[in-house]
Structure 1
Amino acid sequence: MRLRLLAFSNLSTKISFVFGASVVAVIAAMVAFWYYGFAPLNLKGTRDQRISDIIATQSIQANARIRLLADDLRERRGNLQILASSPEFSALLNALPPTESEAKASLQHTLETAFARLAWAYPDSYASIVLIIGDRQHILAAPAQTVQPPPADAHWLDTVLTPGAIDTVMLDRDTSASAPLLILARQILAPTGETLGTLVLRMIPGNLLAPLARADETLLGPSGRIDLIDGAGTYLAHQVPTKAIPGTSPPSLPAKNHGIEGSFIETRPDGGADIATYRYLQIGADDGWSLVIRRDQDEAFDYIVDRRNRVILLSLMVAAVSMLLVRLFARQLTRPLSALIDTSERIAAGEASVRMPRSMTEHTEELARLARSFNHMAAQVDSRRQRLEIEVNQRTEELAREKATLQRYLDVAGAIMLVLSPTGRIQLINRIGCEIVGRDESELIGGNWFALCLPERLHPDIHQVLETLVSGQRNELSRYEYPILTSDGRERTIAWANTVLRDQDGHITGILASGLDVTDARAAEAAVRDAHDLLHTVIDTSPDWIFAKDRQQRYILVNQAMASALGQSPRAMIGQAAPELDLEDRRDRDDYSDDAVLSGKSVHLRAEHVRDKAGRERILDTYKRPLRDANGQINGLLAYGRDTTAQHEMEAQLRLWAKVFECSSEGVMITDPTHRIVAVNRAFSEITGYTEREAVGQTPRLLSSGRHDAVFYDALRATVDKKDRWQGEIWNRRKNGEVYPQWLTINAVRDPTGTLTHFAGVFSDISGIKRSEARLEHLAHHDPLTGLPNRMLLLDRLGHSIERARRHQHALAVCFLDLDNFKHVNDSLGHHVGDELLKAIASELQRHIRSEDTLSRIGGDEFVLLIDALESIASVERIVRKLLGVLREPRRIAGHQLYLSGSIGVSLFPQDGDDADTLIQHADSAMYDAKQLGKNRFRFYTQSLTNGAMKRLRIESALREAAVNKQLTLAYQPQIDLETGELLGVEALLRWTHPELGAIPPDIFIPIAEEAGLIDEIGAWVLDAACQQLSDWEAKGWSPPCMAVNVSVCQLRQPDLPKQVQRALDRARLPASRLELEITESAIAGHDGVAAIHRLASLGVIISVDDFGTGYSSLSYLKKLPIRKLKIDKSFVADLTTDSNDEAIVRSVIALAGDLGLDVIAEGVELEAHRCFLLDNGCRQGQGYLFDRPLSADALFQRYSTR
């Protein structure tokens, strides 16, 4: 067993094994010494050092964080001190009785402003701010929208209201929040030392810890965490930089560790251990917080484990490299033997020219002699091989020349030439064969002819033919046909001739096959046969007489109708001579004889009389013409005769009835009992288009329109059979194919014995009446301008579509489309251009929807598209986007190039409604929302749109009553000189307080007023009220320099706006220079706005541009218009100290105004930093909460009249 295990396949492997085993043993010994050897260097000696390093790192982090926490807490207390010492609080608390509602409102506003500034400076930091007036007489809290004032019996109030407790820091543990709140309290003292109130900031302690958690994994590790715990062991905050330690929960500080500082190894509930570092922060006189930094001990040792793994990996790599070097050395030793073996194997494989390498002949003496002997032997063998190859190549070239010559002979043949082996393998094939088969010669040579080119159904028969030839039973087979398959699967019929090929000894070596493609010839023959059979079938099935004679007047063709009428068979009459038939008129007998036809004349015998087998006389209408051979020689005649006996009888009757029918204006049709038409009048032909000759002999089916089914006609016939009369409306078809309505009366005609003899139908064309009805019906259901379905037809189709959708469980969509700014087209170019534009758009939209969908116009510029059998939401989006693209395309209407867009709202069944009205209403709501978002877009319906629409509708309804019920008021915000604080003017701001809806912001109700057409009335009231208020202040002895009033875009479009302004000034007896009109940029973008502004400026009022920079910002208007002031929008002022872009914009506006000689004012000035920046950059006017909020007229007068 041992000898078998140590047996090797070659010498190289054995050498590699011996040396490799030695190297591995040495490396294993080195690794063992490192792991268990000298203690200071081994693996176990580094664990304690690792713990010491982590404790040092955590101590540094804890010290830094506890200092930051203390600094942050001091900063928050400083903020509270600044607020508590603010003159605003002390002035309001000292000057006004706290019981007055207006004083409470002022304090609430000041409190809200203070909280807003804190929230801006410390986002998401403070929970609320509380003002306690006196000893709990009143408690106010901000923000009032989300925070309720604390109850008067809250336990922490006793602490913060303790006399002498000016500055208090404590925790509110009774709060309903998930964690206690931090209370920072500061008493507000009067100059006399009396406590006026207490200001309290409440915040979540965790917000103090948030900045302290900005530690990366390099310092705290993936499992690092920071906990903040108060002195009672209550969890305050918990911050984890990366991930939580598995199995842990927020800790409670053990009582024994409260107030201590140091580092410990603590055991977790899950059995793991943490390295914890504690730091203590004294918060109040009797309270303090502990900051704890923890890290998982096992994670700390990951570094040591990783070091061990790297050592083992390095050892394995050294062992692998050593084994590789040993293997290379062994291969170098055995290379000469391997080269000798390789050369021998290559010569044996046929590489006769290969030799032992020259390096081998210069190796050791024994190997060199062996290599030279081996090369000499190989040279002898190669010489003999070369002589044989020369002979073979010569014979091969001779055979190739012979084969090429044979191939040329075969290619010039006009048929397939094929040489097959006895087994059917293709040895040669000519060009014609390749072309017919549709394959290249390379594909065919060597392949089995029968497998490649023969239908499988013929394999047994062909194999039998092949066996007959190969066995020697026959030397050749000629003129037999079988089909072959082409490369595209079609069959071609080939006429084959085969010959056996033999060698000099008479042995069969192959088969020479010649094939002619007769596919087209056989197809032509089959077509001739089919045509011959068809001709005989047509002739024999014809009711007319058809016959032909040769020059000896013997029948060579007789059809069945003629033979049957004469009582013979067609076969019996062929070859017989026939006597001349009697003629009604003998005068032209010679002209109409068969001899005349055989002489080359074609004749027409209108009344040729013969007797049938029953002896009755028949009248034939016969045509005869000569028959000619290929050389044009007459070799017989062909005759065609129609039995017109009945026709002659009818003609006699028709002549009688024609006299009666001529005077009738209604169509008359008379049929026999079998419903064959026997008579019609002239009115019949005029109405139906069929002549009398075309109608007689036919049935009324000739006029059938196909609109009535068999049930209708069965009921009609049953009524006539029962009552001998039927009257009603029926749809028939004219000869030209037009379907038209008739009013038809059918009467059964009977003889005195009651036998039915005829049916008489009298009818009139009621197409005109129907067209009028159809026109009225179309107008009732279609839009007269565009021809599209109107609302009535849309609701009908939508109702049917909903029913189908319910039955088949599929969805549908309703798209409400409204053209953007279409009113501008009507107003500027006229309604005739608008109508043409609507027709063009309707036509284009109709071309881009599916035939099963419905596009309707429901009024004005509103269209509704019904998308039936909806595939998916994505398909609706594709259709809607395509329609928006169609609307955006330019159109030339009446010489004007028009550009338009549209807004589309989409509702879906069944999600958004289950009836037609609801779906259309919801799609309309979605369309309105799309317009609000900026037009030229689409929106899907959501429930919030309905809620918004209902709220908007309620607001609009309430707004119509607001002015009457005196719910509208004006508030006035002062405009201040930023340097001196002097009042420069006031801006009148519209306010609305509804008794049920409460205070409604202007940015909500003003757009509704504009859309509802109420803004003109409201704007006129604002102008009158503002001017009158300025006049009232003057009567009291106080006169603000200017009153600013906002003017909307809609007001500028009213031509009588200058008159309204002048009337308001006249009523108040004010000069125009005291009134400033603020107009937005979008209002001056149109020609109408420019003209209106010029008219207003001519009155002497001041024109200013409001919200400058947020609209079109067209500088050309600043040059053209009489503008005197620019107002910087508050959106640029709000972030003035933090956003460099806003700073650049504000500087640019101020510089632009200065260069153009315009005044500039900034709105939204709320911080002292705003005022300083504006003043430093050249803006001297401003308004905002830094100076005052909008006030009532009385409050403004009381505050500023004494300045």
Structure 2
Amino acid sequence: MEKRATTESTALPSDILPQVFFWNENFETGFEEIDHQHRGLVELVNRLPALSRGVPGAPALAEVLSELRAYAALHFSTEEALWESLPYEDPLIHYLQLHEKEHRDFTRKVAEMGQSTAPETVGEIVHFLTHWLARHILEADRRMAFVLKGVKKRLSLREAMAAAEGELDLTETFTRTVLSMYDQVVDQALRLMEEMARRKAAESSLRLFGQVFMSVRDGILLLDPDGLIVDANPAFCRRLLVRREDLVGRSIFSPSPSLLDPASLSQAFQKAKETGHFSGTILIPREEGEADTLWASLSPVLGETGETSHLTAIFSPVGELLKENEVLSATANQDPLTGIPNRRLFNDRFGRALREAVSGGQRGALILIDLDHFKALNDLWGHPAGDQILQAAARRLREAVRQSDTGARLGGDEFAAILSGLHPEREVATLEAQAAAEKIRLALSRPYEISVPCEGGGEDSFLHSCPPSLGVVLFGGESLDEEKKVFEAGDRALYQAKHAGGNAVMMAEEPELEGKHEA
């Protein structure tokens, strides 16, 4: 007798799997091996409903169908051996052909249905298999059992087959009743599995909500429509220095002591109920005087009738959010080595300054700066020495420009400055830009004190000069009004300053300033 260890390896607990095929003593054929295989097929069919809605722990459909096809092949082989044990006469050939066709049709049908992955496919397969299995047991295999028993009683093959057909005619009504019953059982089982899957999904969502509610950093309150506190998460309790048991059942508007500022809270509560949402700041009174500010988001929870059953209130500390935003902004917009604006922030401010100058009929200036002899120092003493120069140059640049202007590091030893609000007259604006550039040149021309490690330990200090070359270009007014052209003019002026020996300020020439009027 064959062993079926694989069936047990993927079986689910009995409390999860509803039965769609119930074994009945009327299914017994009297042949132990055949009846054992029938029970194995029933077990496999009863495992299929769990696949209809993805029940946790259920095996894959392809896995069950593959096992079913293999086990059915074994069953057909056993039946064929029993048929072939009979005298080989014409009636037997007919039954063997019918048996072979049934096996072939069954295998093809199961393979075709197993190609689909839609949940409803499982229902179709279960309906097909319950019908097939019931009819196979009650008709095909009972016919075979009657014939085998008749031959054993010394009837001829034809006599045994005729007697078998007579017995089957008497049980036709029973067979139809069984098939109808299994239709109803299958439908109920599939509906049950769908309901179980929905319930498990709901339970999973509740567990997830509970975990989020307990672990989130923002304070959360669940309120009833009158403002009574239904629940409060740990973050809210920590923020207000109160225990959860002292909050539940209490009105959020209770003045003794007041949890939140009554005026702003009442306004937020009413707006959330009337409009469906509120977002804004709410104060937390403190005994020491200064109140904390929270960002509150209140939203109603609608019940089955569409009316507000609860309200959720989420409180975020504004101060901490602002600090986090400041850190993120600084990381994105500041040069990490020098702490002054980087190229990204510089480009943003330059674009804004250029637009404001053009639209307002004002003038501004762009100053591009390059440190002379910096590469030689960096190559000789290494990056630590070069970094000291860059950090000191950034401090001097920041001190040399007005608070309304921008000094930035573009990369390497390249710096830049944006001058805004210059005089509308070009000649006056030119003098203002030259004076500002000269102030920067003088600041950056002073020698830098550099500290480097000594071979024997300790540090040695020396002075190093990195005088700057500066290219200056006006923008706005009748001057250049395109970012690319302004930078190109500034680069040419910077090149002229370096070509002249460095440590110099060079203004973009007049023809370049008129470049936008050229054809």
Give the TM-score, by structure 2 length. Answer: 0.43
Larger Rg belongs to: 1
TM-score, normalised to structure 1, is 0.20
Q: Of Structure 1 and Structure 2, which has the larger fraction of its residues in strand?
A: 1
Larger RCO: Structure 1 or Structure 2 (Cα < 8 Å, ≥ 6 residues apart)?
A: 2
